[in-house]
Structure 1
Amino acid sequence: MAQIESLFVTRFYRAKLSEHGTAIDPEELEASCYSIAEDDEAGQKWCEDNGYPGYTSYASLTDLAWRFPVFADIVTALDLHVAEFVKDLEFDLDGRTLKLEDLWINILPEGGTHSSHLHPHSVISGTTYVSMPGGASALKLEDPRSARMMAAPTRTKEARRELQPFVYMRPEVGEVFLWESWLRHEVPLNMDEDERISVSFNYKWE
């Protein structure tokens, strides 16, 4: 009898940021994000010069955990989540660890998008969600084999989830998503008049 099994699985981690006991005040976090965005003139200029909708601190600030205690709490929580994900992935880290490389704020207004991309030079990437209004977009993940499918037909609309070319993961406020950094992803159009706020990050092997 024929046997069919799934190979080369892409893992995706989803949990409450506070799951390991680190309490994060969502109101304090949102207020901190707006306070930083308002004061970060270098970040505002980078967004304007590069046509980035809304605001990101990605190219301007590297010390969020020093500036506001709530971000230090986030780092503490993320370290625990990443450690859990590493166990699931069964990485052989050769006695070393994955450490936070960078952490940044994203504030996406109505009509804003973040085009498809990946995170080179990192091992684990992810996002925790601060504000997700009803019309804000889910995270769109792309099948990493897409570039190699060549003449393959499209999938049916009813195809199993693991066979879909794109998967949409809609987060809730206070959740954290983790994935391996080579996984291509994007944030589609924000259809809500309110802003979509998140904090993204990368972990590297050292």
Structure 2
Amino acid sequence: MPQIDSLFVTRLYRAALSEHAPKIDATELETSCLVIAEDDEAGQDWCEANAFPGYTSYASLSDLPWRFPIFADLVKVLDLHVAAFAKDLALDLGDKALVLEDIWINILPEGGIHTSHIHPHSVISGTTYVAMPEGTSALKLEDPRSQMMMASPPRLVDAPREMRGFVYEAPSVGDVLLWESWLRHEVPMNMAEDDRISVSFNYKWE
């Protein structure tokens, strides 16, 4: 019998924020995101200038945990999830630690998309989900080997999940997803009438 092993595994962490304290009130977090988006004129201007659908605070507000207590609490929770994921990844951090690099709000309206990208210079990236209306986009994750497959045929439609070229992960409100920052991902078009709201973040090694 031949021996076939799976090598170089790509890990995806999924958990409920509530697995760690302090408790994050989902309604308060959603309200905070909407209020911040309404008041952030610099962010609105950046989105308009860059044809970004909806709203992101990525280019305008770099101090959400300092400005808003609920984001400070959110970071405390995320720190614990990231630490658990780093342990699962068997990362040798030495005398350094994984610390928050940046955190930002995303509000994607009907018809909005977030094209395929990676997060350079970071170690772990992720998103927690604040509002996921019925029919909204899942997160689309791309096999990181795709650019090296050259003449490889496509996978069968019913191929095992871990062997597909793309995987769609449909989170629920209150979930947190984590992945290594080199993993290419995107948010396909939001087909729901209501806004898809999330908070994304990066962790660096220092």
TM-score, normalised via structure 2 length: 0.99
SS at match of 2:121: coil
Q: Distance in 1 between matches of 2:67 and 2:37?
A: 12
Counterpart residue type for residue 137 of structure 1: S
Q: Which residue does the alignment assign to 2:94?
A: 94
Q: Which residue does the alignment assign to 2:53?
A: 53
Q: Which residue does the alignment assign to 1:19?
A: 19
- Residues 69-148 of structure 1: matches in 2 within 5 Å? 69-148=69-148
Q: Distance in 2 between matches of 1:44 and 1:59?
A: 10
The one-character-per-residue Cα deviations of 1:95-115 (angstroms, maximum 9, x if unpaired) are 110000000000000000000
Counterpart residue type for residue 54 of structure 2: G
Greater CA deviation, 139-148 or 15-24? 15-24
Cα shift at 1:21: 2.5
Counterpart residue type for residue 198 of structure 1: S
The one-character-per-residue Cα deviations of 1:166-192 (angstroms, maximum 9, x if unpaired) are 000000000000000000000000001
Gaps of 5+ in 1: none
Q: Distance in 1 between matches of 2:171 and 2:91?
A: 26
Q: Verify: 1:34 aligned to 2:34, yes or no.
A: yes
Q: Distance in 1 between matches of 2:50 and 2:153?
A: 37
Q: Distance in 2 between matches of 1:204 and 1:110?
A: 32
SS at match of 1:199: strand
The one-character-per-residue Cα deviations of 1:100-149 (angstroms, maximum 9, x if unpaired) are 00000000000000000000000000000000000110000000000000
SS at match of 2:66: helix
- What is the identity percentage for the equivalent residue pairs of Structure 1 and Structure 2? 72
Q: Distance in 2 between matches of 1:70 and 1:9?
A: 35
Q: Distance in 2 between matches of 1:135 and 1:46?
A: 28
Which of structure 1's runs of 4+ aligned residues deviate more than 3 A? none
Greater CA deviation, 63-72 or 115-124? 63-72
Q: Which residue does the alignment assign to 1:185?
A: 185
SS at match of 1:71: helix
Q: Distance in 1 between matches of 2:90 and 2:124?
A: 13
Aligned length: 206
SS at match of 1:66: helix
Q: Distance in 2 between matches of 1:111 and 1:174?
A: 23
Q: Distance in 2 between matches of 1:127 and 1:161?
A: 21
Counterpart residue type for residue 130 of structure 1: V
Q: Distance in 2 between matches of 1:97 and 1:18?
A: 23
Q: Distance in 2 between matches of 1:79 and 1:146?
A: 31
